[in-house]
Amino acid sequence: MESGPEVFAGLVFALFGAVLLVWTGICVRTGAPVADGVSRPAATGAALLAGVVFLATGCGLLVAL
């Protein structure tokens, strides 16, 4: 019964992380800015790191069931 919220949170974290990684990749590939007002390498690195952390957290929550 209590695994319902954990599954939901895991799916949300994993989906957000995957979409953030795809979005960052598209921005880098097209040359679009990843974040306004921030240097491109810093914004790209922060977005990639956040995407990996969110994806890993989501997968960790889903595997821990």
Report pLDDT digits (tens) over 17-32.
Answer: 999 999 999 999 999 9
Structure confidence at residue 4 (pLDDT): 86
- Give the integer Cα–Cα distance in Å for 63 and 17: 16
- Contacts of residue 44, defined as CB under 8 A and 6 or more positions apart, other chains included, come to 24, 27, 28, 34
- Cβ neighbours of residue 54 closer than 8 Å, sequence gap 6 or more: 13, 14, 16, 17, 20
Amino acid at 43: A
Token couple for 43: 């914004």
**pTM: predicted TM-score of the whole model, two decimal places:** 0.88
Which pLDDT belongs to residue 3?
Answer: 81
